[in-house]
Amino acid sequence: MPSPTTILVTGASGGIGAAIAEHLAAPGVRVALFARRKDQLDEVARKVGQRGAEALVLVGDVADFESVEAAYAGLVAKWGSSIDFAYLNAGAGGVFPLSKFKADRVRRIFEVNILGLVNWLHFLLPPMLEARRGTIVGTSSMAAQRGGPNSGAYSASKAAVTNLLESIRLEARHSGVTVCTVEPGFVRTDMTAVNKFPMPFIMDPADAAKVICRAAQRGKSMIRFPWPLQAGMAVMRWMPNWMYDRVTGTMLGQDSE
């Protein structure tokens, strides 16, 4: 019999992470679910099990190295260190104006979005490189492409995610390990529910999960969607500052709280 496909999903208690876990669940698949909220993880695990997959609930905080270490040890004890796909999806949002700019708010966003990724990579990369196989799928954001008003911490943290994953992809390109960066637009989740600004082309998590999983399984290095929003971002990425300032100026002064 072929070995089961083993998948890790962080940020699996809701939103895109839960949708990825449910989308990939099938007989012959093992799905490790990592997040802070056990009650919601248990519900995702139940749905994963209904689809014939084996689920493993791992409770912890990606920003806490010891928490990740304990979760990884539990995963290895249960299924071994051979992970086929790691969907590193956990993330923290943050939309606030300069008048509410505080170091602790910015620090938490970076701890979750970038250090949370780093903590899991610390444990995942060595066995994947040794085995010369495995796929890392890291969730960044289209917000990584340019800074936006009221979202400097989030945009900067996601830019760090995109650049880190690209660097790892370049180093790993002959190792057998595949690295895929995901830059979605707006997805209907708890994180975006607090936004008070228009979110064009917003998608449901299930639809986003289908796009992500399909592209990751095809070995794509970058996934940006939906395409109409990405087309707009491509134009904005090359705008001179004076033009970009004018286009985004209408967003200034908006407060999410």
Q: Quickly count: other Cβ atoms within 10 Å of residue 171's Cβ.
A: 13
Q: Quickly count: other Cβ atoms within 10 Å of residue 151's Cβ.
A: 23
Inter-residue long-range contacts of 157-162, CB under 8 Å, 24+ positions, other chains counted: 157/109, 157/110, 157/113, 157/114, 158/113, 158/183, 160/110, 160/113, 160/114, 161/113, 161/114, 161/117
Active site residues: 154
Q: Is residue 180 exposed (0-12), middle (13-18) or buried (19+ Cβ within 10 Å)?
A: buried
CA 141 to chain centre: 8
Among 193, 189, 191, smallest CA distance to 208 is for: 189
